[in-house]
Structure 1
């Protein structure tokens, strides 16, 4: 394995989801170029093997019948430094990806390189795609609402994640502040780790002692009842509560 320390001004990412079944299976090709004063981006995303499914099966999973996406334009240059930093940290694997994953083409190189840290690059790519969706008005910023009800009071807050400019806003009442991007993204990963029981979700937050969360779709779930851990060895629900209590009470 070799680490990459050279300076680059462009990077191409190619991804294949591998053995993930449709309608989730997809591939994408993303070209990034910051040789000028801006960050130029080209994205081609294609969902695969959907001919195996009926329209109803695709729609039931929350997709549309045309989720393929093309974008050619510019992103906020605030993304350049994180891309460069991740590239500088990277080590290469001599192995090929037989079951899917991401490969990189640094600069003008035509031979793909396989990064050892697949998860970090896949997360970076997901964040960039989300930034593209926001920039092109395909999707709005992510909103997470949270309510903590104690014996003494009820405290509400909202986290708004702007992928377009890597800015996260925490709102409590009339006050708002920016919070650390990496901290917020780790919190988002925690939030979407447990199992959500939508059959008992409510349109309004609870008023009894407990913690309640709305993941942006207007439906409220009570942590520990409507939100439960999938892996008994990892208390994601407890960690979500701890992180929000730090934000609300810290």
Structure 2
């Protein structure tokens, strides 16, 4: 364990979406404190520049008229080690983030240090998103993400699901009533794969198919057939084929 990881007892993450237009543009401040062993968090999330949009324009994009959110309270301490590990492995840059990005203020032994700009911006933004999702689940603002899928071949059908619990950093795979926990990083990579292709909702159905194939419901109640209603966006990257392969591995393991 590095000395930096040893001395780190808290972290403040500040994010600005930069050039992203409203109603998506937002800023947040996420303060994390684990100096007493448990994890205490404070989130202040604010959507910006919405005054130039009508209420209808905001609603049409899937938002509400007030999506700002504040929270102060505990979060499962299972998140402490991943935060420390990411901080310990991060590189820092002097690059300006005026056009959007995340900055960190590490805290150790009760005092704040200087602001740091991580060069691995995407990793920290994903970490922040995961932590915010964990907060939403903890306070029951949102339910855990659940993805259902069915595989049909000439002999039978398999019905399975993946439930991602950000609140306690756990992924549960359910295969016809038998459950097991999956490695978090493996499952998150699978989630990224699942949301990579293009989903054609005009071809979706409200129930899974019974003909040979693989079907998926990404949590919204609509079933898509992989390879027909779900197609690759980038011809050089076979996301659909990789999803099929990963799901086959889960069913057979």
**Unmatched 5+ residue regions in structure 1?**
none
Partner residue, 1:203: 206
CA distance in structure 1 between the partners assigned to 2:165 and 2:5 by the alignment: 30
Contact kept in structure 1, 2:5 and 2:84, CA below 8 Å: no
Q: 1:181 to 1:39 in 2, by over 3 A?
A: same
- For these two proteins, the number of residue pairs brought into alignment is 248
Contact kept in structure 2, 1:41 and 1:75, CA below 8 Å: yes
Q: 1:72 to 1:5 in 2, by over 3 A?
A: closer
CA distance in structure 2 between the partners assigned to 1:195 and 1:84 by the alignment: 35
Partner residue, 1:66: 66
**Offset of 1:6 from its aligned partner?**
6.2
Partner residue, 1:23: 23
Contact kept in structure 2, 1:6 and 1:88, CA below 8 Å: no
2:40 maps to 1:40 = yes
Q: 1:173-194: per-residue Cα shift (whole Å, max 9, x none)? A: 1210001000011111111111
**Unmatched 5+ residue regions in structure 2?**
none
Q: 1:183-239: per-residue Cα shift (whole Å, max 9, x none)? A: 011111111111111222111001111111111111111111211222222211111
After TM superposition, list the pairs within 5 Å mapping 1:213-224 onto structure 2.
213-224=216-227
Partner residue, 1:154: 157
Q: Considering only aligned residues, what root-mean-square deviation do their CA atoms show, in Å?
A: 1.5
CA distance in structure 1 between the partners assigned to 2:199 and 2:112 by the alignment: 44
Partner residue, 1:173: 176
Q: 1:156-177: per-residue Cα shift (whole Å, max 9, x none)? A: 1000110000111000112100
1:232 to 216, 231, 235: 235
CA distance in structure 2 between the partners assigned to 1:35 and 1:6 by the alignment: 11
Relative to the length of structure 2, the TM-score reads 0.94
| Worse-superposed segment, 184-193 or 228-237 | 228-237
Contact kept in structure 1, 2:8 and 2:106, CA below 8 Å: yes
Contact kept in structure 1, 2:12 and 2:105, CA below 8 Å: yes
**Offset of 1:23 from its aligned partner?**
1.6
1:232 aligned counterpart, secondary structure = coil
Relative to the length of structure 1, the TM-score reads 0.95
CA distance in structure 2 between the partners assigned to 1:245 and 1:90 by the alignment: 35
**Offset of 1:242 from its aligned partner?**
1.1
1:164 aligned counterpart, secondary structure = helix
Partner residue, 2:186: 183
